[in-house]
Amino acid sequence: MQLTTSWKEEGIQEGLQLGEANILLRMINRRFGAQYTVIEARIRALPIEQLDELGEAFLDFAALAELETWLDQHAPIAS
């Protein structure tokens, strides 16, 4: 029973993360007019806590470069 509950909770968290990432990606597309595969992959890899932070920070971004800088500071590309 505990294993089933754990899987269920994990599924809920993954669903929340996916939904929040999708909303942010739609906002980025609307503001900056294009989708960027590298940025999309980086955003989809963020945990929900960082997606929340990015959602708040995004309100202050005036240029795509600001989003890229935020990602560089908070979610560097793994080498």
pTM score of the predicted model: 0.77
CA diameter of the chain: 49
Please write the tens of the pLDDT for every residue from 6-58.
777 777 777 778 889 999 999 999 999 876 888 999 999 999 999 999 999 99
Q: How far apart are CA 26 and CA 72, in angstroms?
A: 20
- pLDDT grade, residue 78 (50/70/90)? low
Q: Determine the pLDDT at residue 10.
A: 75
| Helices 2-32 + 48-58 axis angle, to 10 | 20
Residue 49, both tokens: 């806590």
Spatial neighbors of 55 by CB under 8 A, at least 6 apart, are 20, 23, 24
Q: Determine the pLDDT at residue 36.
A: 80
pLDDT beyond 60 at 79: no
